[in-house]
């Protein structure tokens, strides 16, 4: 199984010039039986407040298992895609990107793959990090500010 995660810090401050700082992004190829442990370890290492998982058919068991394993240290939330395409989901958050509300952690090499996928989107070979990123941006305003939010699709 391949998991995509983006780690984003959310700022809810009227004085801030931006609302989100993208800290890193990565893809993980992990056997399904080890995915829950890897996700919880990653979320706990970054002290993530939330782990957001796309509510796809194949993810229901994953969401349930994560909630059990996280033991309340990280809040696990399912993110509905509402049958919107990946392109539509990006268009829904493009205003925040274009308005300068999303910043990148300068010099973070893990963001290169995400930036490559964004430049190629929607015609690129891979776009899972783009989808993870856009779904996280869509949900983050409803979660408040503070600690890093870890998102996997």
- Distance between CA atoms of residues 65 and 147, nearest Å: 22
Give the pLDDT mean for 126-138. 88
SS3 content of the chain, % helix, strand, coil (to 5): 45, 25, 35
Q: What are 41-52's pLDDT values in tens digits?
A: 888 888 888 888
Report pLDDT for 44: 85
The residues pairing with 150 across neighbouring beta strands, listed in sequence order, are: 7, 51
Tokens of 36: 């829950």
Report pLDDT for 22: 81
| DSSP code per residue over 13-37 | -TT-S-SEEEEEEEEEE--HHHHHH
Q: What are 59-89's pLDDT values in tens digits?
A: 889 899 999 999 988 889 998 888 899 999 9
Per domain, the residue ranges of the chain are 2-152
Mean pLDDT check: name the lowest of 2-6, 83-87, 116-120, 128-132. Answer: 2-6
How would residue 13 be classed by pLDDT, with cut points 50, 70 and 90? low
Pick the CATH number of 2-152 from 3.30.420, 3.30.1490, 1.25.40, 2.60.40: 3.30.420
pTM value is: 0.80
| 149 pLDDT higher than 70 | no
């Amino acid at each position: 199984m391949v998991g995509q995660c983006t780690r984003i810090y959310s700022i809810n401050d009227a004085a801030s010039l931006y609302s989100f700082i993208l800290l890193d992004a990565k893809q993980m190829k992990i056997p399904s039986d080890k995915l829950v442990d890897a996700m919880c370890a990653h979320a706990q290492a970054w002290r993530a407040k939330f782990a957001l998982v796309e509510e796809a058919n194949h993810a229901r068991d994953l969401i349930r298992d994560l909630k059990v394993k996280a033991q309340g240290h990280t809040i696990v939330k399912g993110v509905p895609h509402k049958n919107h395409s990946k392109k539509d989901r990006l268009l829904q958050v493009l205003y925040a990107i274009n308005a300068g509300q999303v910043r990148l952690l300068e010099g973070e090499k893990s963001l290169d793959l995400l930036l490559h996928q964004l430049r190629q989107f929607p015609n690129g070979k891979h776009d899972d990090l783009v989808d993870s990123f856009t779904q996280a941006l869509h949900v983050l305003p409803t979660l408040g500010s503070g600690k890093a939010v870890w998102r996997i699709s």
